Amino acid sequence: MRKPIMAGNWKMHKTIAESVDFVSKVKSNVSDVKDCEIVVCPVFTALKSVADAAKGTNVCIGAQNMHWEEKGAFTGEISPKMLLDAGCKYVIIGHSERRQYFGETNETVNKKMLSAFKHGLVPIVCIGETLAEREKNITFDVVGKQVKEGLAGLTGNQSSEVVIAYEPVWAIGTGKTASPAQAQEVHEFVRKTFTEMYGKDAAAKVRILYGGSVKPDNVSELMKQPDIDGGLVGGAALEVDSYTKLIKFQR
């Protein structure tokens, strides 16, 4: 049985004070939740304060990006060791906004994913097709390549611990959610591809999150799909009430 994850990607939102206030409210709302992993991903400057505020609770912290090197002359970058030091357990890798605006490729995604594991972080690796790719009927080609290249080289334990987030680019921040059937079709394909790479046991354990306009009113239908193991959520994870509802989605 795979434990669902409800991860909130705050993108470039919230000051330190706003982030701490948010997590203080959420942690008391969800203190009784045991059947869902809760992950908030604030901006870098708020990581340590949010991690301190969440210490000893069931709320985990994730970062939104990292460099693959441990240290060095990489102005403006942050390393996995620094994220760990700030209190992170997870790190989002290869979000479509990073691929689109900051030149992230399957190759850099792979380097970052392997480095995250090497330093004790759990990577949440994002994949997903654009609208043009879906309309050209090449969704499976694009997503298959992202999985084969981006998720290559994992060892035994890593292949069941890695988290994958399928996020169709056309559904992110647009209010257009993939239908539960559309999402399930791709999730099933991703698990099949992962089975070819790492075998049945790892594929049965790996958690595949859906992202793209997940809201309290569509989360339950999405979560009923057999291959959807949680959500990576932007907009609806920025408000305490809606994020709480997502975490406590109707089983």
Pick the stretch among 21-29, 81-89, 165-173, 184-192 that binds ligand PEP (CB under 6 A): 165-173
Do 57 and 89 form a contact (C-beta atoms < 8 A)? no
Residue 232 within binding range of ligand PEP, rule CB under 6 A: yes
| Radius of gyration for the chain, computed over Cα atoms and rounded to the nearest angstrom | 17
The yes-or-no answer on residue 167 being catalytic is yes
Residue 146 within binding range of ligand PEP, rule CB under 6 A: no
Which CB contacts under 8 angstroms, 24+ apart, belong to 188-195? 188/226, 188/227, 189/140, 189/143, 189/144, 190/127, 190/143, 190/147, 190/164, 190/166, 190/227, 191/227, 193/143, 193/144, 193/147, 193/148, 194/147, 194/151, 194/159, 194/164
We find the least distance from the C-beta atom of residue 126 to ligand PEP, in angstroms, to be 7
Cα separation, 161 vs 120, in Å, equals: 11
User: Which residue of the chain is nearest ligand PEP when measured via CB?
Assistant: 234
Do 187 and 208 form a contact (C-beta atoms < 8 A)? yes
Cα separation, 112 vs 69, in Å, equals: 8
The yes-or-no answer on residue 77 being catalytic is no
Do 161 and 122 form a contact (C-beta atoms < 8 A)? yes
We find the least distance from the C-beta atom of residue 86 to ligand PEP, in angstroms, to be 21
Which of 37, 67, 95, 104 is labelled catalytic?
A: 95
Residue 214 within binding range of ligand PEP, rule CB under 6 A: yes
Residue 212 within binding range of ligand PEP, rule CB under 6 A: yes
Residue 42 within binding range of ligand PEP, rule CB under 6 A: no
Question: Using CB under 6 A, which of 173, 199, 224, 250 touches ligand PEP?
Answer: 173
We find the least distance from the C-beta atom of residue 156 to ligand PEP, in angstroms, to be 29
Element (H, E) at 162: none
Choice between 160 and 242, CB closer to ligand PEP: 242
Handedness of CA 180, 246, 96, 106 (dihedral sign): negative
| CA dihedral of residues 53, 59, 9, 37 (deg, nearest 10) | 180
Site string for ligand PEP, 103-142 (x = CB under 6 A): ----------------------------------------
How many residues make contact with ligand PEP (CB under 6 A)? 14
Q: Please list, in sequence order, all residues whose beta carbon lies within 8 angstroms of the beta carbon of residue 85, skipping any fewer than 6 positions away.
A: none
Residue 235 within binding range of ligand PEP, rule CB under 6 A: yes
Do 25 and 240 form a contact (C-beta atoms < 8 A)? yes
We find the least distance from the C-beta atom of residue 200 to ligand PEP, in angstroms, to be 29
Choice between 40 and 232, CB closer to ligand PEP: 232
Question: Using CB under 6 A, which of 4, 5, 6, 9 touches ligand PEP?
Answer: 9
Catalytic positions, written as ranges: 95, 167
Which stretches of the chain bind ligand PEP, using CB under 6 A? 9, 11, 167, 172-173, 211-214, 232-236
